[in-house]
Amino acid sequence: MEMVIATAVLAGSGVALFSLIGQATQLAQKAEQRTVALQMAQSTLDEFIATRSDAESEMEGSFESDPRWRYKIELSDVEANGDGESKLKRIVVSIYRSTESGTPSADNTDSAVVSLVRWIGAAKPMSTVSSDALDLP
Structural domains present in the chain: 2-124 (3.30.1300.30)
Residue 71 phi/psi, 5° resolution? -130, 155
**Quick one: pLDDT band at residue 105, thresholds 50, 70, 90?**
low
Is residue 95 classed exposed, middle or buried when 0-12, 13-18 and 19+ CB atoms within 10 A define those classes?
Answer: buried
Tens-digit pLDDT profile for residues 45-77: 999 888 876 567 888 999 998 888 999 999 888
User: Which one is predicted more confidently, 108 or 57?
Assistant: 57
How far is the first Cα of the chain from the last one, in angstroms, to the nearest whole number? Answer: 109
Q: Is the pLDDT of residue 4 over 70?
A: yes
**Quick one: pLDDT band at residue 124, thresholds 50, 70, 90?**
low
Distance CA 28, CA 51 (A): 35
Q: What share of the chain is helix, strand, coil (3-state, %, to 5)?
A: 40, 25, 35
- Check residue 83 and give its pLDDT: 63
Q: Is the pLDDT of residue 137 over 60?
A: no
**Quick one: pLDDT band at residue 128, thresholds 50, 70, 90?**
very low
| pTM recorded for the entire structure | 0.67
- DSSP per-residue string spanning 92-106: EEEEEEB-TTSSBPG
Work out the mean pLDDT of the chain and round it to a whole number. Answer: 81
Tens-digit pLDDT profile for residues 25-49: 999 999 999 999 999 999 999 998 8
Mean pLDDT of 112-121: 88
* Segment of 41-45, 96-100, 104-108 carrying the highest mean pLDDT: 41-45
Distance CA 113, CA 2 (A): 51
Q: Of 75, 112, 80, 71, give the one whose Cα is nearest residue 90.
A: 75
Mean pLDDT of 9-20: 95
